[in-house]
Structure 1
Amino acid sequence: MSTPVTAPATADPDGAEPRTFRRTTLDLGDAVLRPWGRADAEPGALLDSLVAAAADPLIALWNPLPARDHAAALTWLAAREDSWDQGTAAPFAVLDATGGTLLGCVNLRWTDRADGLAMIGYWAPPAGRGRGVIARATRAVTAWGFRTADARRIEIAHAVGNEASCRLALNCGYLAEGTLRASYRFGDGTYHDEHLHARLATDPEPAPVPVPASSPSPSPR
């Protein structure tokens, strides 16, 4: 969803910016969540994987990624680093802990920073689908946002037709709250209805996501 323009949060008396996302690495055991940034622009497998992800049909439909070539990918990475610098968003690359393969992306961003309202989104190329890793990454980033950045409410919005994203949101404890009609234009150029999910900082932690013994067929986002 698009981010509304909001007034900046007021600084604390000691000069620290409240509700700021600060760079960190989250370890899931079999996967590592690491901040995206310009360092990922070095020629190599990760940059190539980012370009390949942008060309994936499911990502192109539900999560259009402006990284069609290396130049566009570099611009995207620079914007991700800038958002970390400003504390306005926390875009994480989800990487396999052993080989460093790109498994996906989870991004937490403020939609109303002063009010503690944020939104989380995620996508996965084929290598990251059917493993439960994006669900576990989404849970980890959610808990981190509540714990370290004083988020009050975090939302997920996905196209009604994106059933896999709906399952993931529910699996991560994001309750369904309703349907937003013709609320967002996706990669097919059409405005789709979206399901809105949300978690509050006061909601109980959902049950753990089981790690599948084998990978089922890919699912969107």
Structure 2
Amino acid sequence: MTAASAPPPAAQSPVDRQAFVRTTLDLGDVLLRPWGPWAAEPQSEVLDGLVAAAADPLIALWNPLATVDRTAATAWLDARDQGWERGAGAAFAVLAADGALLGGVSVRWVDRADGLAMTAYWTLPGARGRGVAARATAAVTDWAFATAGARRIEIAHAVGNEPSCRLALRCGYPAEGTLRDSHLFGDGAYHDEHLHARLAGDPAPAGLAPEATAYTTVTSG
């Protein structure tokens, strides 16, 4: 009598492989840390930074944040944390070396099984014009391609948001067209959007090479 052979391992679905795993990205002078409960701890000033971000006119127009007060900001943090738990969204705080909040960058699945994702970003006034958002976006893009099986990542921004258009091009996202009345923005109006996209096989943008980024997987927010 021969021993019964072990059943073959269950096949891993594309969705299983395509998960965003909580990771800290170290850019040297800038740290991308997964949003989580740490930002609401009493000793952290990041929660107040989120409240300030919601009040900034440009953020309120182009990328409104539901962080108008500390209670709302805590709920917002919980939603970002749950996105990490599901592997469906990767939202990072962009921090200076001293821990001060500079902005945020995220990537989320649009069609997880197909490897289609979208990224977004914002910065506080003091971090603008310094290349912070571009470096953070490029790092998160390369990380999503390298670790989560992303096939295509898109950026959509209002046609009137010219700095975002320049950032997308700098990060290796060529423009692909215009989406008419595509999104309801903070002014209560629908705006046309420019669509940009980068494919996993596209070359890395000059000056924003992924090898400058250190990845550290973490177990909690």
TM-score normalised by structure 1 residue count:
0.87
Question: Which residue of structure 2 aligns with residue 150 of structure 1?
Answer: 149
Q: Identity of counterpart residues, as a percentage? A: 67
The 2-side partners of 1:42 and 1:143 are apart by: 30
Determine if the alignment matches structure 1 residue 175 to structure 2 residue 208.
Answer: no
Query: Does the CA-based 8 Å contact 1:102-1:128 persist in structure 2?
Result: no
- The one-letter code of the counterpart of 2:96 is D
Determine if the alignment matches structure 1 residue 66 to structure 2 residue 58.
Answer: no
Question: Which residue of structure 1 aligns with residue 136 of structure 2?
Answer: 137
Question: Which residue of structure 1 aligns with residue 185 of structure 2?
Answer: 186
Cα deviation 1:89-138 (Å, max 9, x = unaligned):
000000001x1111110000000000000000000011221110110110
Question: Which residue of structure 2 aligns with residue 5 of structure 1?
Answer: none
Question: Which residue of structure 1 aligns with residue 83 of structure 2?
Answer: 83
Determine if the alignment matches structure 1 residue 53 to structure 2 residue 53.
Answer: yes
The 1-side partners of 2:14 and 2:161 are apart by: 42
SS at match of 2:113: helix
Q: How does 1:1-221 map to 2 (within 5 A)?
A: 12-13=11-12, 17-43=16-42, 44-97=44-97, 99-209=98-208
Q: CA deviation at 1:15?
A: 11
Cα deviation 1:3-61 (Å, max 9, x = unaligned):
xxxxxxxx843998220000111011110000001221113411111100010000000
Moved more, 17-26 or 41-50: 41-50
Q: CA deviation at 1:209?
A: 4.7
Alpha-carbon spacing, 1:188–1:16, altered in 2? closer, same or farther (3 Å): closer
The 2-side partners of 1:200 and 1:149 are apart by: 13
Structure having the higher Rg: 2
Query: Does the CA-based 8 Å contact 1:35-1:93 persist in structure 2?
Result: yes
SS at match of 1:51: helix
Query: Does the CA-based 8 Å contact 1:12-1:18 persist in structure 2?
Result: no
Alpha-carbon spacing, 1:15–1:158, altered in 2? closer, same or farther (3 Å): closer
SS at match of 1:52: helix
Unaligned 5+ segments in structure 1 are: 1-10, 211-221
Alpha-carbon spacing, 1:95–1:115, altered in 2? closer, same or farther (3 Å): same
The 2-side partners of 1:63 and 1:185 are apart by: 10
Q: Which runs of 4+ in 1 moved over 6 A?
A: none
The 2-side partners of 1:195 and 1:16 are apart by: 28
Task: Number of aligned residue pairs: give it.
Answer: 199
- The one-letter code of the counterpart of 2:41 is E
Q: CA deviation at 1:181?
A: 0.1
- Superposition RMSD on alpha carbons, in Å? 1.7
Alpha-carbon spacing, 1:197–1:12, altered in 2? closer, same or farther (3 Å): farther
Q: CA deviation at 1:183?
A: 0.4
Unaligned 5+ segments in structure 2 are: 1-9, 210-221
SS at match of 2:16: coil
